[in-house]
Amino acid sequence: MSPFTGSAARTARWEHVRVEIDDGVATVTLARPDKLNALTFGAYADLRDLLAELSRERAVRALVLAGEGRGFCSGGDVDEIIGATLAMDTAQLLDFNRMTGQVVRAIRECPFPVIAAVHGVAAGAGAVLALASDFRVADPTARFAFLFTRVGLSGGDMGAAYLLPRVVGLGHATRLLMLGEPVRAPEAERIGLISEMAEDGGADQAAQALARRLADGPALAHAQTKALLTAELDMPLAAAVELDASTQALLMNGADYAEFHAAFTEKRPPKWQGR
């Protein structure tokens, strides 16, 4: 995302999510624990706009997406979203579904790694938010469920049919999206849906540790690696290799590359500048 913006001021307070930033690590918490952090129209919009704002500011080097209470996120709120969409016309429904997809695009396109800290349920849209993240750190209570066919909709919601086969393979993705059955932590780890298994109750802490490690590292290198992972998913090899070459040439002319050499020569840890 471009860092250039117009006259829009930084948002002072987000109504539907809790945001904390500490030395380059942003923690975004879904905070409706009484509803298992079910998403509302406002929550989707806040996530979309927050990620865009943080991307422009360039002050965040890693982001943890977490859920308060007994679970990560139970998906779209049945009363506030499903009930409301039954009264919408096609144009309104298209606008809503595009917005939910924009949240996933924002997660994939923001210039910093996103770590989902998953405990308890990650269902429906909540499962897709975790799927879209760069890392999924989960504890043994985690269970993922792509429930869209269970409510009579396509399993390919919010980019799930694009992302899930690339994470777990076509066979597993077909089963998970078609049947909507929950996948508990041990199986999720086995098929690659979980990046790191934390101790019981330790998903948030492990995600923060990973975020700190990433934030203390070479931010520009991380941003470019993330961009290439997304861009090259659909590229032929020749185009991917050429894009890799161009990216490396740019980074080899950067401050962090020179800093690594100086630190190696002086036998000290590098002082990454993110440029």
- pLDDT tens for 162-197 read 999 999 999 999 999 999 999 999 999 999 999 999
Query: What's the confidence (pLDDT) of residue 58?
Result: 85
Query: What's the confidence (pLDDT) of residue 11?
Result: 82
Query: What's the confidence (pLDDT) of residue 57?
Result: 86
Q: Which parts of the chain register pLDDT below 50?
A: none
Query: What's the confidence (pLDDT) of residue 13?
Result: 85
Query: What's the confidence (pLDDT) of residue 4?
Result: 58
Query: What's the confidence (pLDDT) of residue 8?
Result: 66
Query: What's the confidence (pLDDT) of residue 2?
Result: 59
Contact 29, 67 (CB under 8 A): yes
- pLDDT tens for 109-124 read 999 999 999 999 999 9
* C-beta atoms surrounding 144 within 10 Å: 27
Phi, psi of 202 (to 5 degrees): -110, 15
The set of residues, in sequence order, having a beta carbon less than 8 Å from that of 18 and lying 6+ positions away, is 27, 28, 29, 31, 68
Structure tokens at 273: 């500048």
Q: Select from 74, 87, 72 the least CA-distant residue to 150.
A: 74
- pLDDT tens for 20-40 read 999 999 999 999 999 999 999
Three-state SS string across the chain, please? CCCCCCCCCCCCCCCCEEEEEECCEEEEEECCHHHCCCECHHHHHHHHHHHHHHHHHCCCCEEEEEECCCCCECCECHHHHHHHHCCCCHHHHHHHHHHHHHHHHHHHHCCCCEEEEECCEEECHHHHHHHHCCEEEECCCCEEECCHHHHCCCCCCCCHHHHHHHHHCHHHHHHHHHHCCCEEHHHHHHCCCCCEECCCCCHHHHHHHHHHHHHCCCHHHHHHHHHHHHHHHHCCHHHHHHHHHHHHHHHHCCHHHHHHHHHHHHCCCCCCCCC
* pLDDT more than 90, % of the chain: 93
